[in-house]
Amino acid sequence: MTTDFATLRKRLHIISGTVMGLFILGHFSNHALGLVSVEAMEAMRRGLHVIWRSYLGTVLLYGALLTHFCVALESLYRRRTLRMPWSEAIKIGLGLALPFLLVGHVVGVRVEMAISGYEVDYPDVLRGLWSDSFASSRQSVALVVAWVHGCLGFWFFLRGKSWFKQYALLIYSFALLLPILSILGFVSSARLVVAMPPYDVLFVAPRADATLMGNIRSYFYFGFATLIGGTFLLRALPSKERVRITYPDGRVATVNAGFSVLEASRAIGMPHLSICGGRGRCSTCRVRVTEGLEGQPHAGSKERATLERIGAPFNVRLACQLYPRSDLTVSPVLMAGHAIAKEAPLATDAAGHERKVAVLFCDLRDFTRLTEDRLPFDTVYLLNRYFDMVGSAVEKSGGVIDKFIGDGALAIFGLENRLDEACAQALRASALIGEGMVALNRSFHGELQQPLRIAMGMHAGSAIVGRIGYGPASELTVVGNTINLASRLESVAKEFDAELAVSAELVDRTGRAMEGHARHGITIRGRASLMETWIVNKAADLAAEDASPAKS
Ligand code: FES
């Protein structure tokens, strides 16, 4: 129930923010038209008024404003701690300042019209603001504050999207340029208007009483101040419903019911990995509930999907999605025994972002047995030759080595390019590695009791790219189910005594014909359907087939 409410709250926040974002976008573009002419500004204003001053537009806009404000106050009240990243603090601070900056303008142009029928036109507004330097400065500040608040809101929402990085420069440039053009448009048109005779085409009624308008403004200021102040006051009051969350090191977080386990961890300064920022997608915040699981709210659809994806046992829950109703004992899965992520979650990279990538896992088979009777120096030499070969095959194909683990390696493709291209690169790399193994075995001929053998697994899909680790030992890496599946396919290659097991999903994206290779449905733990997989006995064969025509 609580989880569903959290989802509803997030949706309302995003939808209302989008409605207001559209309004501000139109408003800013309208101001920017001042660089063309006052007539163009006025024409656009009338066009926008048809939308926003219609019955539906008014309900939509003011409904969104009210919803956004209420949701913001509710989440402010709900927060267990006001400790937060600076970008979030700025966003909240600016959002709370906005009502006070905008009341004068809104009452002047909207409330007055509703009371007296007097419609303020652009020249009226420009003349009024230009003659009052305090009002014009406040209005400019309000514009910038509204814009920065909105931009930060959308940045929080969009930064995790796979396409965001690709268009980031374009989006940032637009975000910077529009308010500048808007203010320039305002200044240039205001200068023109004060030099013009009064422009009173839209004058339809006498203006409302100034004292009345002043009183209305005061009521609004008082109302907003009371609501915001009241929220902080309510936060300070101890709640009757408190829950205790106990951690493996004996620390206890006592929080109001309605707070997530992740928020509880943060409240007591407990390091807790959360790469997707609490959106229930990365699973890195998961905890094993060792006591008190009964009676807790069931996992919502988002949490269930993430837990099923990783095949989590029944007592594992996502800390960011679990809002305990009663006391419980938890053990963070990705922190047990490690000092992991003490600082990382607050670093820029640690926020992580989702990307579609192709992943290649490779591993030397029977390597330990193979090197049992060799000197350590020989083993190191052999491993370095092998890693050299794998590293250069991956780099030549356009990928990067994420890490070497023992005698295995993890390579990623698609950090900077499209997924289809990344899949083709991964296939090319596996072919080069296959060829490299043939060459390595040739050069070690007679040195080893048996040739070196490799097993590779490849899959493509979404992964979280982020900085993980502790202090200097942290590194940029990828995590997620795609990585787990590629690793599982590497084991499948061993089971089939083949060099490569690659998901059909990856191959389909390249359009490569796989004639001559076998296709199998593989059972994967936590996955309802079989995973269609191509088994390639000799990866070097793929290089020979490279010249074969692609499917259209
Ligand atoms: S922080 Fe990503 S799932 Fe909870």
Distance between Cα 488 and ligand 1 center (Å) = 23
Q: What is the pLDDT of residue 202?
A: 43
Q: What is the number of other CB atoms lying within 10 angstroms of the CB of residue 201?
A: 8
Sheet holding 286-291, edge to edge: 252-256, 242-246, 328-332, 286-291, 316-318
Distance between Cα 274 and ligand 1 center (Å) = 5
| 3-class SS of residue 238 | coil
- Beta-strand (E) ranges in 199-296? 242-246, 252-256, 286-291
Distance CA 325, CA 258 (A): 7
Give the closest residue to 501 by CA, choosing from 457, 438, 537, 445. 457
- Please give all residues whose beta carbon lies within 6 A of any atom in ligand 1, as ranges: 274-276, 278-285, 318, 320
- Number of residues assigned to the chain: 552
CA trace torsion 98, 101, 106, 111 (10° rounding) = 110
Give the closest residue to 492 by CA, choosing from 479, 502, 484, 507. 502
Distance CA 371, CA 448 (A): 9
Q: Which atom of ligand 1 is nearest to the CA of 321?
A: 4
Q: Which atom of ligand 1 is nearest to the CA of 277?
A: 1
Q: What is the pLDDT of residue 462?
A: 86
Distance between Cα 278 and ligand 1 center (Å) = 4
64, 15 Cβ separation under 8 angstroms: yes
Please give the DSSP secondary-structure letter assigned to residue 343.
Answer: S
Distance CA 193, CA 198 (A): 8
Q: Which atom of ligand 1 is nearest to the CA of 283?
A: 3
Give the closest residue to 539 by CA, choosing from 442, 451, 415, 427. 427
Q: What is the pLDDT of residue 422?
A: 94
| 3-class SS of residue 364 | strand
- Regarding beta strands 353-365 and 453-468, do their DSSP bridges make them parallel or antiparallel, or are they unpaired? antiparallel
**Which of 159, 265, 275, 309 has most ligand 1 atoms within 8 Å of its beta carbon, as the pocket-test mutant?**
275
Distance between Cα 351 and ligand 1 center (Å) = 11
Distance CA 360, CA 300 (A): 32
Distance CA 34, CA 45 (A): 11
**Which of 10, 156, 261, 285 has most ligand 1 atoms within 8 Å of its beta carbon, as the pocket-test mutant?**
285
Distance between Cα 287 and ligand 1 center (Å) = 10
Q: What is the pLDDT of residue 80?
A: 62
Distance between Cα 527 and ligand 1 center (Å) = 20
Q: What is the pLDDT of residue 240?
A: 61
**Which of 159, 261, 272, 284 has most ligand 1 atoms within 8 Å of its beta carbon, as the pocket-test mutant?**
284
**Which of 283, 304, 323 has most ligand 1 atoms within 8 Å of its beta carbon, as the pocket-test mutant?**
283
Q: 79-110: buried (b, 16+ CB within 10 Å) or exposed (e) per residue?
A: bbeeeeeeeeeebbebbbbbbbbbbbbbbbbb
Please write down the long-range contacts of 299-308, taking CB distance under 8 Å and 24 or more positions apart.
Answer: 299/3, 300/3, 300/4, 300/7, 302/3, 302/7, 303/3, 306/280, 306/281, 306/282, 307/283, 308/526
Q: Which two tokens stand for residue 97?
A: 């300042």
| 3-class SS of residue 118 | coil
Whose Cα sits closest to atom 3 in ligand 1? 280
Distance between Cα 17 and ligand 1 center (Å) = 23
Mean pLDDT per 10-residue run, the chain (552 residues)? 64 89 91 88 88 89 91 80 74 87 80 73 74 78 87 80 78 91 87 68 57 87 92 77 86 83 84 73 81 89 80 85 91 54 40 80 82 62 84 89 83 88 94 93 76 93 74 66 90 94 95 90 80 93 67 38
Distance CA 225, CA 68 (A): 16
Distance CA 536, CA 507 (A): 12
Distance between Cα 280 and ligand 1 center (Å) = 4
The count of C-alpha atoms lying within 13 angstroms of the C-alpha of 203, restricted to the half-sphere facing its C-beta, is: 8
CA trace torsion 132, 137, 143, 145 (10° rounding) = -140
- 0.75 exceeded by pTM: no
**Which of 320, 464, 468, 481 has most ligand 1 atoms within 8 Å of its beta carbon, as the pocket-test mutant?**
320
Distance between Cα 273 and ligand 1 center (Å) = 8
Q: What is the pLDDT of residue 431?
A: 95
- Beta-strand (E) ranges in 440-544? 453-468, 475-479, 500-503, 518-522, 531-536
Q: Which atom of ligand 1 is nearest to the CA of 282?
A: 2
Q: Which atom of ligand 1 is nearest to the CA of 303?
A: 3
Q: What is the number of other CB atoms lying within 10 angstroms of the CB of residue 492?
A: 22
Distance between Cα 255 and ligand 1 center (Å) = 20
Q: Which atom of ligand 1 is nearest to the CA of 319?
A: 4
- Regarding beta strands 286-291 and 316-318, do their DSSP bridges make them parallel or antiparallel, or are they unpaired? antiparallel
**Which of 260, 265, 282 has most ligand 1 atoms within 8 Å of its beta carbon, as the pocket-test mutant?**
282
Q: Which atom of ligand 1 is nearest to the CA of 318?
A: 4
| 3-class SS of residue 436 | helix
Distance between Cα 286 and ligand 1 center (Å) = 7
Q: Which atom of ligand 1 is nearest to the CA of 273?
A: 1
Distance between Cα 413 and ligand 1 center (Å) = 24
Type of residue found at 86: W
Helix, strand, coil shares of the chain, percent, nearest 5, are 55, 15, 30
Distance between Cα 437 and ligand 1 center (Å) = 40
Distance CA 453, CA 498 (A): 9
As to burial, measured by CB atoms within 10 angstroms (0-12 exposed, 13-18 middle, 19+ buried), residue 472 is: exposed
Distance CA 63, CA 23 (A): 13
